[in-house]
Amino acid sequence: MKLRRLFPLLPLVAALAGCSMMDAINPFSSSAKVKMADLPTFKATAEIRPLWQMKAGKADGHVFTPAVVDGTVYTASGDGTLTRFEDGKQVWRIAVGKPLSAGVGANNRLVVVGTAKGDVLAFSAADGKPLWSAQVNSEILAAPAVGDGIVVVRSGDNRLFGFDSSDGTRKWIYTRNNPPLSLRNAAPPVISDRYVFAGFPGGKLVAVALQNGALAWEGTVALPKGTTELDRVADITSTPVFDGPLVCAVAYQGRVACFDLSNGSLAWAREISSAAGLAMDSRNVYVTDDKGAVHAYERTRGTSVWKQDKLFLRQLTAPAVQRGLVAVGDVQGQVHFLNREDGSFAARYSTDGTPILAAPQVYANGWLVQTSGGSVQALEPR
C-alpha cells in the first residue's frame, strides 16, 4: 500500500521561514532559533480606523476566512458557530452541531462550511436554516467555493468535488496523482465563469470545467527539484488569483507565475517561495514570501517593482489590496499597511493579539480581518 505523508501546513510554514526544510522539522537545529523582526518604527502616512468589531468564535487550530457577499459578512469558528453580520450587527447566529474545520463559502443564497470528517454543510444565507449536507472522502481544510448552481469542495487528499448547490447531489470528482510528500492545504479553489482554479502539490495550477469536472488546462508554476523528498516539495498552498485575462499562483520552493486564463499559456514567472499567497490589482501582483517579505511585480511582465523585507519571520498572511494600500496580517495580530507605490510602511493596526492566519478580505472601502482568537474587525483608511 502506498503511503502518502502530509506535513501540517501552518506549524511547518511558521518554522520554514528563513531556514531549510530539514532545519524546520529538526527542533535541535540552530536555524530554528532565529527570531522574528521587531515591529519596525515609521512615520505613518495613513490612518486606519475600525468600522466595527464582533466575535466569531475561536479557530481551534484551523484557518477560517470570512466570506463577504455584497457587504454581508459570514463567519465560522472551530466550535461549529456560523454567523451572519450586516454593518457590524449580528443578523443570525447558529450552532451547526459539529466542530468545523473550513469555511466560509457563500453567495446570496447559500452558506457552506466543512468538517474534519469530510462533512459538507449548506445553510440558507437568509436565516441560517440547514438546507443540505454531503460527504467527501477526507478532511476539509479549505473554504468551499460557491458558484452559480455549483459548490466546489477541496478535500484533504487534494480532490475536487462538484456538488449541485440546490440539493447537494454530487456532480463530479476531479482527482490526480500526488507526490509522496506534500503540505496540508487550506487553500480554497476559486471560480471564474466556466472554470474552477486550484493549485496542487508538485507545483501545478489547473483549470477544471465547472460543467463536468474535466481538466481544461494545466500550468506549471514550479518544478520539484532536489535529491530528497523534502527538497522536492513544491506545492501550491495558497489561493490562485485572477483579474482580466490573467490567473496567477505561487508555489512553496518554486515560483510565482501568471497564465492566460482562457488557455493556460504562460505569461511570465519569477523565482520565489511562498506558502502564504498573493494578490493582484490593476498594476501589480503582490506576493508574501516565506521569510516575511512582501514583493510587488508588474502584472503584465513580472518585473520587480519593490520589496518590503522589514517583517522578517512575522508569519505574514497573503496580501489584500485596497485604496492604494497593501494589507497583511501577522502572527501577533498586527495588520501592516504598505504603500502600493513603493512598499513603504503607511500604517499599522493592532487586533486582539492572536495570530491572523487568513488573508484580510476586501470589504466596503477597506478590509475585513478575522483572528484565530475569534475577533472579526472591519477596518477603513481615513
196-207 pLDDT, tens digit per residue, is: 999 999 999 999
Closest CA relative to residue 60, chosen from 82, 81, 77, 83: 77
User: Which residues is 361 bridged to in the sheet?
Assistant: 368
102 contacts 142 by C-beta, under 8 angstroms: yes
CA dist 175 and 172 (Å) reads 10
pLDDT at residue 173 greater than cutoff 90: yes
Q: Which residues pair with 295 in a beta bridge?
A: 287, 307
pLDDT band at residue 181, thresholds of 50, 70 and 90?
Answer: confident
Cα–Cα distance measured from residue 212 to residue 114, given in angstroms and rounded to the nearest whole number: 22
Q: Which of 11-20, 63-72, 209-218 has the lowest mean pLDDT?
A: 11-20
Q: Is the pLDDT of residue 339 over 90?
A: yes
Q: Indicate if the pLDDT at residue 152 is higher than 50.
A: yes
Contacting residues for 89 by C-beta, under 8 A, at least 6 apart: none
Greatest Cα-to-Cα distance within the chain, rounded to the nearest angstrom: 59
Q: Are 360 and 376 in contact (CB under 8 A)?
A: no
Alpha carbon separation from 158 to 71, 139, 178, 200, 299 (Å, rounded) = 31, 10, 8, 7, 28
Cα angle for residues 314, 320, 324 (degrees, 5° grid): 110
Average pLDDT over residues 19-45: 68
Burial of 271 (0-12, 13-18, 19+ CB in 10 A): exposed
Give start and end residues of each alpha helix (H) in the chain: 9-16, 21-24
CA distances from 292 to 36, 233, 311, 332 (A): 9, 19, 5, 13
Radius of gyration of the chain from its Cα atoms, rounded to whole angstroms:
19
Average of pLDDT values for 341-355? 98
Distance of alpha carbon 18 from alpha carbon 34, whole angstroms: 8
C-alpha cell at 297: 511585480
Please report the pLDDT score of residue 32 as a whole number. 54
Task: Please report which confidence band the pLDDT of residue 23 belongs to, taking 50, 70 and 90 as the band edges.
Answer: very low
Task: Write the pLDDT tens digit of every residue in 268-310.
Answer: 999 999 999 999 999 999 999 999 999 999 999 999 999 999 9
| pLDDT for the residue 27 | 40
